[in-house]
Amino acid sequence: MNGMIEHMQPDQSEIQPAKSDSRQQIIDAAAQCFMLKGLEKATMDDIADALGATKGRVYHHFRSKNAIYFAVHQQAMQYCFDAVAPVLALSIPSDKKLEAMAVAHARVMMDTLPYQRSIRLGVEIYLRGSTTEAERAVLTDLITQRNDYEDLYRDVLRAGVTQGVLRVPNIEIASRAVMGALNGLVDWYRIRPEQTDADRDMIAQALAHAVVHGMTV
């Protein structure tokens, strides 16, 4: 199983966006700023400084920090969908599929940490704050996208119950527990220069096993 899960890891060139894309470079810089300074404290000046450019370049692509945050959120979610897509295509028992999805999700949390940490509380901050009607519509779409992603896990949980390989009394609570544990990685995980790709694999597999093992028959 470990070998198969490792094989499911997305290629790092697929995770990292093309650096020739000016808009993508701004999103990358913003994700770093949001992670380091906090979503509320980071400014357009900070993003421009991290990019090594003028604010004019930033404003050429984005009208506001809110707009950049939405782009960061969208990209973070796309990373997640892309990470689990190969696993969903596998014809394997649902308990194995759930664990492989959990490994893929944990890896993408680490591999795209600035993005994932930036959105951890971002939606709640913006929902509490002052936003325009158009911005609230974008937030609603982002929340819908997040729910669609979580539905992928709920579908696998239901299939696992049907197959008799998962014991899940309440699908909704179980899915929230799975996602909460996996997403919580961004709160305690720290990037270390000496950490290898194999180290990340070990963390991802250990977390996935801890999350899924309690539900296996």
pLDDT tens-digit map of 178-196: 999 999 999 999 888 899 9
Task: Classify residue 128: in a domain, yes or no.
Answer: yes
- pLDDT mean across residues, the chain: 86
- State pLDDT tens for residues 58-103: 988 998 888 999 999 999 999 999 999 999 999 999 999 999 999 9
Residue 38 CA to residue 118 CA, distance in Å, equals: 7
Task: Classify residue 53: in a domain, yes or no.
Answer: no
Residue 74 CA to residue 146 CA, distance in Å, equals: 10
- pLDDT of 174 reads 94
Task: Classify residue 19: in a domain, yes or no.
Answer: no
- pLDDT of 7 reads 39
Task: Evaluate if residue 124 carries a pLDDT over 80.
Answer: no
Task: Classify residue 80: in a domain, yes or no.
Answer: yes
Task: Classify residue 126: in a domain, yes or no.
Answer: yes
For residues 14 and 138, which has the higher predicted lDDT (pLDDT)? Answer: 138
Question: Cβ(155)–Cβ(178) under 8 Å?
Answer: no
In total, how many domains does the chain have? 1
Task: Classify residue 203: in a domain, yes or no.
Answer: yes
- pLDDT of 55 reads 85
Band of residue 128 on the pLDDT scale cut at 50, 70, 90: low
- pLDDT of 38 reads 85
- Per-range mean pLDDT, top range of 1-5, 8-12, 116-120: 116-120
Instruction: Determine the structural domain holding residue 128 and report its residue range.
Output: 65-213
- State pLDDT tens for residues 27-61: 999 999 999 988 888 999 999 999 888 888 898 89
Closest by CA position to 182, among listed 84, 72, 74: 84
pTM to 2 decimal places: 0.83
- pLDDT of 13 reads 37
Q: What DSSP letter does each residue of 153-178 carry, written as one string?
A: HHHHHHHHHHHTSB--S-HHHHHHHH
Task: Evaluate if residue 130 carries a pLDDT over 70.
Answer: no
What is the number of other CB atoms lying within 10 angstroms of the CB of residue 213? 10
User: Residue 139 sits in a domain of what CATH number?
Assistant: 1.10.357.10
